[in-house]
Structure 1
């Protein structure tokens, strides 16, 4: 794994320390602001990777059937969340406006921690954000969510075939997707297969991060690849 796809340990520790310090600072600013009160009991949350996966699957089934519950949007929930958050999954997805995780999994406030970048591409900030959810909030599931007709993957494949250099920082995205282009296929099949291959790449990179890998080995965390189909709104795992 090269330096472009796997962050340096020193930088990773620095980021994690900064996030932890920021959390402590935020808590410190509230000291003395109001009388001490017991924090409200958190709502029931999936506590294991398997439970979290089942909750997401159930929510996606409701979304597909147009039977959304729009959970956790009440006044009581909003007030409860002032005291803290207890999300049960990190969803690392694409920025595509057609694939908002809270909607496709029918979840509400405080349920998911979402991190989004074009093509689910990792950089230091994206990986640090995922790690923050797991290490600081104890989230048991990271779901890497690709999707049908991903524009970032298509742009990468087309630029690779034409030799075009993409404008601005878009080339950065393409450079990270290009290694998994499926060259055994052509046309739309190549784009589609590369979408799945990119999900696998990102899933494996996240799972290989040392602090997260330790939790995976302990059974406290699962890092799962999945894909959302625009045609029927179904989310399914990518093996």
Structure 2
């Protein structure tokens, strides 16, 4: 088998290294070519059929698409180094940031926030299951509680949240990660997204993590908020699905 998990290499049949691999949780391996893109693409189609893969390399993505792979997501990985943070945001009267958790009101708020026209697609039952598993079983990673919070309205109901984990195993540098941030439509337009983001930044620093990172899909208007808050670009991340064998 040309894939060698021990040294995280994708190799040609004669053993020549073609690309470096790093597993990224359920997102499939991150592939960084060290040979010509077309050679790497051909070997990936042979050795990774029907797999989701990620790469920061445009040439490899184009070669994979030309060979029959499907581009499913184009995003940018951002990070904030936490050394110089804006002050936290004061919330309007009656609103608060409470301990992170999960309830039906939050599920409804996120379902409305991530509608079918959202660049990342709609909120799904799998998303709900993933969040519940984090809180109930720490699967695949536990939430970073100091950096996570629920937005609670004057009626006592959850209207949004930020959910962080860290340190996470899928990056090449030590960091905490924003897994999800969202505010229900009925609460939007009040600066709550910025309040949640700043809570995550300060909470990550309080938890002793050096960096907070995230991935934002192309076309997501939240990118403007991240840029204004001081996040900087780490890399492009192109997600593809290879054709089945």
- What TM-score, normalized to structure 2? 0.27
TM-score (norm 1): 0.27
Q: Which has the higher strand share?
A: 2
Question: Higher helix share goes to which structure?
Answer: 1
